[in-house]
A and B are shown apart, each in its own frame.
Chain A
Amino acid sequence: MMKKIDRRNFLKGGLAGTAALAVTGKATSGKAASFEGYPDSMGVLVDLTKCVGCRTCEAACNKEQGLPEPAKPFNDTSVFDETGHGGMPRQPTEKAYTVVNRYDTESGGPVYRKIQCNHCNEPGCLTSCFVNAYTKTPEGAVIYDPKVCVGCRTCMIACPFHIPAYSYSSTINPIIKKCIFCYDTRLKFGRPPACVEACPQEVMVFGKRADLLRLARQRIKENPNKYIDHIYGEKEMGGTSWLYLSGVPFEEVGFNTTLGNEPVISYVKEFLGIVPMVLTIWPALFTGFHLLATRKEEAEAGKKDNNKGEGGRS
């Protein structure tokens, strides 16, 4: 695991790094694919069966992160009927790093779901960033350095959960905005994020990811009729720090259940693997083609030399 970090640091060397990258990338691909997160990484277990949609977590996030005041107050439940761009349900934005949505499920009754960055073990955003702005901290947070963000928005392409938002409205300093697990103000000091602490229903449990997985399994085991037998985020996209339990099928509450268990980087590796081959094989191969293609001219020149030589001798 630490090897991966060393690799990243080691490679901060420009062009030579590009070549080396794919070599090492290939060599350690087996290990990288099985990276299951830092051993003491923290996480949050969200139990959807307990959420009542009070939006207290949204308010807490807004306050903690110093975000602008929303158009509608946080106790206004009419926002659940809003749809965003393209008719999509509400999603985190540059002004709200977490949102709660209501889903009217077939299995009866509304179910509420809190959405924020899931803090992947092997984040797609991190692997796609060409200025290395993202960091997965040992505590489990996926944070980013807005000072180096160029605004290419590849991380938004790469995020399977559609999480990173972009401040399109800013001209001078548009940057990526997303949940950072309250890293600077709380997680770093071992404290739970603001949303978890504020929740009056104890929907969320903050703890070591490994412990949370055990807790989730225990809850499913003790109440097999209450929960779907799946922990969303345990394996999805290589595993995430935020985990979900649900009483209704996950796809009914807006989860993408077709993502698979491979982290994004697994899909990109096939290309990264060819990079060193092209860099090392092409020069000799194409210079060879050149020699082959121009061999007649060379032979002509050689003949002339020989003729001259013979002429000299006779």
Chain B
Amino acid sequence: MNRMLEKGFRPIDTLHKPDGTPWSFKEKMMLGLSPQEYWAAQLRNPFNWILAAIFAVGTPIIVGRFIFGLGWATHGSYDYPWGLLLGWGLFVMVPLSASGFMMGTTVELFGRKDFKPIERLGLLNGLLGYFFAVVFLQVDLGQPWRLIYPMFVSLGPAAVLFLVAWHVATYLSVQIAELIPAVSEWMGWPKAKRFIKQIVIGLTVAGIILSTLHQGALGALFTYAPGKVHPLWYSSAFQWFHFLCSAIFAGLSMLIVVSTLTKWFMRWRCDETFLKSLDRLTVGIAKGAALALVTYLVIKFIGVAHDNDWKYLFSGWGQWFMFEIALGVIVPLVLFTSAVRNNNATTARWAALFAVLGIALNRLNTSLVTFNWNLYQEIPHWREFVITITVYATYILVYRAVLARLPILFTWKDKS
């Protein structure tokens, strides 16, 4: 698509064609191209062929999971009830999606209107991340059709997972509301946008509350397993804060990673405002991420000190812990700091990559690698990997489809 731009292709950024007639819904879905042009462009894209290959292998496996059960698709055992589907799909996806409430807070609450060009990308990254975390959950639940039971049928309000369920559900609605302005511009529904504008502070504050609690709650889920999670990854007092604080830099770093990818692969869809301000915004986000990282580093070691876990640092698990801290916290912290000092967006992008990998490692370490550290190691079934990759590929596909259409990376031309 980037090449088509050079040939004179102009993607839709207004409700009306140059001759004044409105774009139809179908034309908008086809990006303003004729169906032949659209599908030809899709077929030319090598990434689509990779996605097609993933779906060809993965779809039968996902169908198989619902026909033959979890025992067929996963290594789910009595000792390891949670595998890669939740380890990756819930515990990694959700912190990487914290960008929604971070950007909402920055722009709407703190009034930093200069971050406006990247706000919607942050919101969308949040919404899709949460939505697909629920998709992963639905694949992993024994009886997914009972998903609403904790809401309406049989309530267990004293459980941490109850809080997660309610908060993720309400926060999904909040995020959908926060993105309605983008949809309303694209569809030509100005009233919806005006309504959201009136309640945006309320939505943003709700987003902060819900995010604080459910990001923390995902950590608190592991406080149910003292002795099962390795002491270096376990802290009854601070687990919720470890998860919340790391979600802050994880969400911000993911936003930097995604914005970098869109800058390369979807340049055709970005407008000048976005492209020109991106380096400045990346460094700005780097500041926030560096602050969260240093806070996290300190509270991590306070956690070790609080439970007097120093002796474990010299064991094999301790080496692994130090590796995680070095790769996922200290390296990005140093790089982010350098990026801010030298005003260098490229360094910030490298830092963000390390932070994202580091947080993925941390969540997988907590939920899988060090879980049952004194029993035995579980390696997820190959079908779990296939399902995880397939659902993640769907996430990327939907993500890209939305970015190509809604005014996320560009400003809609019509004034509402």
Contact = CB atoms under 8 A, between A and B. Distances in A.
A97 B368 CA distance: 26
Nearest to A153: B81
Interface string A247-262: 0000000001011100
A278 B224 contact: no
B143 A149 contact: yes
Interface string B218-233: 0111111111100000
B146 A169 contact: no
B111 A293 contact: yes
A157 B144 CA distance: 19
Contacts of A169: 69, 71
B239 A130 contact: no
Contacts of B159: 127-130, 132, 154
B70 interface: yes
Interface in A147-168: 148-154, 156-158, 160, 162, 164-166, 168
B205 A166 contact: no
Given A86-B79, A150-B143, A166-B142, A290 B220 contact: no
A165 B166 CA distance: 26
Interface string B144-172: 10110111011111111111111000000
B160 A268 contact: yes
Nearest to A163: B78
A258 B149 CA distance: 36
Contact of A282 (B68, B69, B71, B212): B212
A91 B78 contact: yes
A21 B216 CA distance: 17
A31 to B, nearest CB: 15
B43 interface: no
A162 B154 contact: no
Interface string A264-289: 10011011101100110011001101
A271 B220 contact: yes
Interface stretch (A12-20, A101-109, A192-200): A12-20
Given A166-B76, A268-B220, A127 B158 contact: yes
Given A157-B224, A165-B78, A88 B149 contact: no
A239 interface: no
For chain B, what secondary structure do more than half of its interface residues adopt (helix, strand, loop), or is it mixed?
helix
A152 B68 CA distance: 18
Contacts of A12: 155, 157
Interface in B83-119: 105, 108-112
A156 B78 contact: yes
A85 interface: yes
Interface residues of A, number: 71
A150 B146 contact: yes
Given A151-B146, A275-B213, A290-B111, A157 B205 contact: no
B287 to A, nearest CB: 16
B199 interface: no
Contacts of A8: 158
Nearest to B110: A293
A279 B205 CA distance: 11
Contacts of B324: none
B392 to A, nearest CB: 21
A267 B223 contact: yes
B384 to A, nearest CB: 13
Nearest to A86: B376
Contact of A132 (B71, B109, B154): B154
B208 interface: yes
8 contacts: A151-B142, A154-B224, A160-B227, A264-B226, A268-B224, A282-B212, A287-B201, A293-B111
Interface of B: 66-71, 74, 76-79, 81-82, 105, 108-112, 141-144, 146-147, 149-151, 153-166, 201, 204-205, 208-209, 212-213, 216-217, 219-228, 236-237, 239-240, 375-376, 378
Q: List 6 A-B pairs, minimum CB-CB distance, nearest first.
A: A151-B142, A168-B71, A132-B156, A153-B81, A271-B220, A86-B376
Given A13-B155, A282-B212, 16 more contacts: A85-B78, A93-B78, A130-B160, A130-B164, A131-B156, A149-B142, A150-B142, A153-B82, A171-B66, A173-B143, A267-B226, A270-B240, A278-B209, A282-B205, A283-B205, A293-B112
